[in-house]
């Protein structure tokens, strides 16, 4: 199987690259990819950088250049659910672009339109729409089971827990408790980031199975007193453990 992996930051890819045998660097235009073997699978990795536009460009390039059979995304997210602690993992079931707003057209918050046409009969716009882009059910179930059974490194005195549910993404860094609360009330999403929903959208349009796992870098009320550096070290180690077992159990 060929597996594509995308992370917003290079640090998020380091533990995955460390698993790879025969690792090679590939330059395509202005983007760097890495290719290697992990447990008999061909793996292609790239850094997309923050934001939905960056994420969707990197995703489409990876899909076009290397035609992977599935695509995995990992990274940090801010918690929206009050039940989440710093270091907890969320295995996404679906993703919504929270900053896409056509509510003036009576669509739901985050509902995307595509296949937009003007009817030759009525002169009115016709379109398809979708609010939540799903992850692959089989990959998500496998990842949740593996993550739940994997001994995760503590972050401070907290042993990370594993959750499964909806996430939201937008081109905004959510730094206020009020904004986080509004997203929670609107979408009931467990966490928020800047890339996952765009990657999910691209995978949906290309019929590519998608998996997303996110680690919480902050609590919903911003009360956590953990440095991002300390968080990133523990989170990436936990990613490495989960993805090592996950890739090993994928069918070849």
| Active site amino acids | 12, 218
Q: How far apart are CA 176 and CA 165, in angstroms?
A: 22
Are 196 and 169 in contact, with CB atoms under 8 Å apart? yes
Listed in sequence order, the residues at least 6 apart from 229 whose beta carbon sits closer than 8 Å to its beta carbon are: none
CB 250 within 8 A of CB 41: yes
Instruction: Say whether 168 sits in a helix, a strand or coil.
Output: strand
- Our separate counts of H helices and E strands in the chain read 6, 12
d(CA 42, CA 20): 9
Task: Judge residue 131's burial from the number of C-beta atoms within 10 Å of its C-beta, 0-12 exposed, 13-18 middle, 19 or more buried.
Answer: middle
Q: Are 62 and 46 in contact (CB under 8 A)?
A: yes
Taking the C-alpha atoms of residue 73 and residue 130, their distance in angstroms, rounded to an integer, is 21
Which residues does 84 contact at the CB level (< 8 Å), separation at least 6? 90, 163, 190, 191, 216, 219, 220
Comparing CA positions, the residue from 128, 100, 89 lying closest to residue 235 is: 89
What is the distance between the alpha carbons of residues 47 and 90, in angstroms, rounded to a whole number?
A: 20
């Amino acid at each position: 199987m060929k597996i594509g992996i995308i992370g917003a930051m290079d640090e998020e890819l380091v533990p995955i690259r460390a698993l790879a045998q025969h690792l090679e660097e590939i330059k395509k235009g202005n983007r760097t990819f890495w290719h290697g073997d992990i447990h008999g699978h061909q793996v292609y990795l790239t850094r997309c950088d923050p934001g939905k536009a960056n994420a969707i460009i990197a995703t489409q390039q990876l899909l076009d250049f290397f035609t992977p059979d599935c695509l995995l995304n990992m990274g940090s997210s801010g918690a929206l659910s009050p039940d989440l602690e710093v270091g907890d993992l969320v295995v996404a079931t679906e993703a919504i672009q929270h900053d896409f707003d056509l509510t003036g057209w009576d669509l739901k918050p985050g509902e995307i339109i595509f296949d937009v046409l003007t009817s030759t009969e009525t002169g009115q716009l016709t379109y398809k729409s979708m609010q939540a882009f799903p992850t692959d059910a089989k990959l998500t179930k496998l990842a949740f089971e593996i993550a739940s059974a994997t001994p995760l490194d503590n972050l401070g005195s907290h042993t990370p827990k594993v959750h499964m549910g909806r996430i939201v993404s937008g081109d905004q860094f959510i730094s206020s408790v009020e904004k986080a609360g509004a997203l929670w009330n609107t979408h009931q999403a467990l966490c928020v980031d800047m890339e996952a929903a765009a990657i999910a959208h691209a995978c949906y349009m290309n019929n590519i199975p998608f998996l997303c796992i996110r680690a919480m870098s902050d609590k919903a009320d911003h009360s956590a007193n953990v440095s991002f550096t300390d968080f990133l070290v523990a989170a990436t180690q936990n990613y490495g453990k989960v993805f090592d077992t996950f890739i090993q159990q994928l069918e070849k």
